[in-house]
Chain A
Amino acid sequence: MKEQDTINPSSLRQALAAKARPNLVVVAGGTDILVQLHDRVDRPWPKLLVLDGIKALGKITLHDDFVTIGPNVTFSEIESSPIIGKYAPQLAQAASVAGSVQIRNRATIGGNVANASPAGDLIPPLYVLGATLELLSVRTKRSMPIEKFFVGPGKTVLKSNELITAIRISKVKRIGFFLRLGTRQALAISKVSVAAALMIKSGIILDVKIALGAVAPTVIRAGVAEELLRGNRLDAKLIDHAAEAASKEARPIDDIRSVAAYRKEMVGILLKRGLTKILESM
């Protein structure tokens, strides 16, 4: 892999200008792209646009109504950020269980989103936190809810001249969780993951979002389960119904990491465990 070149911009402007050229592959931390390089898929390899030198994209910023996370923010930074811990504990939880210390020190939130893996651990929490992505090109700027970003495994609506420049989440306080299952107790890719965010007042669920990872071509919302929960009092029976509904909404496949039947069942188990813990803490 020595013949190709890399572009290492130090500002967003330079990066966007470079991205206007076709066939550039973006590297943030590199923990995914270098794996792909190693596997030599997609040869000959195009030029690499390396973003991690752009300091401005590596910040977590508190605004009046929302929090902005730069795409270069690493899993380790998310894991230890007091701001994320306060406003997006599910995201902190997900960041803390992914990969190893070495991976978390390099892997970025922007990379995790752009890579569009249905098993990407940060994506389900971003779904339930109602995250918005800011996409910039030299000439255009748009933002969209994260759920609109993914088309399929590894496929997104990002245009070839665009970069993810910010991830925004609201500061509205919700309770929630992120739970996952992997084959071993560390350094495991999720077989199934479930994230949830709820707004509960006097025992009644005012609002709820549930996202499921690794059970469909993209991360998906469990809309039916959410509908069952919304407006109702959280109790054991309701939890069972919601878990059953979510299980039905999952559309997993058999692959090297698990089998469909198992994944489907586990969606219900994880959702039930998460919701039960909330019920018990009420």
Chain B
Amino acid sequence: MKVRFKLNGKFVMLDLPGVERLIDLLRERLDLVGTKEGCGKGECGACTVLLDGKPVCSCLMLASQIAGHEIVTIEGVAADNRYAHILNAFEETGAVQCGYCSPGMIVSAAALLARNRHPSDNEIKRALAGNLCRCTGYSKIIEAVSRAAERVAQERK
């Protein structure tokens, strides 16, 4: 079947061979390997992408389910200036160690900050609860998201 969807800001028309997971479409056929697979069961969040602005696990979606929708991957987030503060904050605070969870973490953070400009620590935790990290103990990640929110707020002043 043919699907048309928006991917990182551009319309894409693709032929789907059959049952295919979204993550495989992104990684194997479109070479968007910034999206990572850690568990294949929606438990780790490394494969998080935005579906119409909302974070979802790309390992738990069929490629055919994105017809008519908009998908943004870490590559799209990284290329979008609106999210530069998040990337910078992750880099500066030390929120990245091995980095395997970072793309998913940043995508979740981007979705949070898009709808909540002043998240509390608890709101940050709730928004990132679906993204496992084994290296950082999360402290610096919370700090990075708070810092990114502050920077955005300062800029708006």
| Chain A residues in the interface with B (C-beta under 8 A) | 1-6, 8, 27, 29-31, 34-35, 37-39, 45, 48, 50, 52-53, 76, 99-103, 105-106, 186-187
Q: Which residues of B contact A (CB under 8 A)?
A: 1, 17-21, 40-43, 45, 48, 51, 54-57, 59-62, 64-65, 67-68, 108, 111, 125-127, 129-131
* 10 A-B pairs with least C-beta separation: A100-B130, A186-B129, A34-B60, A102-B130, A38-B40, A105-B54, A102-B57, A4-B19, A35-B41, A31-B60
Contact B19–A2 (Cβ < 8 Å): yes
* Least distance between A56 CB and chain B CB atoms (Å): 15
Of all chain B residues, the one with the shortest Cβ separation from A27 is: B62
Cα–Cα, bound, A187→B44 (Å): 10
Q: Select one of B43, B64, B68, B125 contacting A6, CB under 8 A.
A: B64
Given contacts A101-B127, A106-B56, contact A3 B61 (CB under 8 A): no
- Return 16 A-B CB contacts under 8 Å, by A number: A3-B18, A4-B18, A4-B19, A6-B18, A34-B62, A35-B41, A35-B60, A38-B40, A52-B65, A100-B45, A101-B129, A102-B45, A102-B60, A105-B54, A105-B55, A186-B126
What is the minimal beta-carbon distance from A104 to any residue of chain B, in angstroms?
A: 9
* Chain A, interface SS category: loop
Partner of B19, one of A5, A35, A39, A106: A5
Contacts of A45 in B (CB 8 A): 19
Closest chain B residue to A76, Cβ basis: B54
Indicate if the CB atoms of A101 and B60 lie closer than 8 Å: no
Max chain A CB contacts within 10 Å: which of B64, B67, B127? Answer: B64
Partner of B108, one of A35, A102, A186: A102
Given A30-B60, A35-B42, A48-B19, are A103 and B130 neighbors across the interface (CB < 8 Å)? yes
Chain A residues with CB under 8 Å of B125's CB are: 186
The residues of A that contact B131 with a CB separation of less than 8 Å are 100
- Given known pairs A35-B42, A99-B130, A187-B43, the reply for A106 and B60 (CB within 8 Å) is yes
Contacts across chains A and B counted by CB atoms under 8 Å: 99
Contact B18 A5 (CB under 8 A): yes
Expressed in whole angstroms, the Cα–Cα distance for A76 and B56 within the complex equals 12
Question: Which residue of the partner chain B has the closest CB to A51?
Answer: B65
Assembly CA distance A119 to B59 (angstroms):
23
Cβ contacts under 8 Å, A5 to chain B:
18-19
Across-interface contacts of A4 in B (CB, < 8 A): 18-19
Q: How far is the CA of A29 from the CA of B42 in the complex (A)?
A: 12
B53 to chain A, nearest CB (A): 10
Partner of B55, one of A34, A101, A186: A101
Q: How far is the CB of A184 from chain B (nearest CB, A)?
A: 10
Distance (Å) between the CB of B107 and the closest chain A CB? 10
A100 closest partner in B (C-beta):
B130
Closest chain-B Cβ to A223's Cβ sits at a distance in Å of: 35
Q: How far is the CB of A225 from chain B (nearest CB, A)?
A: 32
Question: Which of A3, A53, A101, A105 has the most C-beta atoms of chain B within 10 angstroms of its own C-beta?
Answer: A101
| CA gap between A281 and B67 in the complex, in Å | 49
Contacts of B60 in A (CB 8 A): 29-31, 34-35, 102-103, 106
- Chain B residue numbers with a CB within 8 Å of A39 are 41
Residue of A nearest to B61 (CB): A30
Contact A8 B18 (CB under 8 A): no
Contact residues in A for B43 (Cβ distance below 8 Å): 187
Chain B contacts for A102, CB-based, 8 A? 42, 45, 48, 55-57, 60, 108, 130
Pairwise interchain contact B1-A8, C-beta atoms closer than 8 A: yes
- Are the CB atoms of B67 and A8 closer together than 8 Å? yes
Q: Which of A31, A39, A76, A106 has the most CB of B within 10 A?
A: A106
Check if A105 sits within 8 Å of B51, measured CB to CB.
yes
CA distance A48 to B110 in the complex (A): 32
Across the interface, do A105 and B19 meet the contact criterion of CB distance under 8 Å? no
Once the chains are docked, how many angstroms separate the CA of A235 from the CA of B41?
45
- A34 and B65 CA atoms in complex are apart in Å by 12
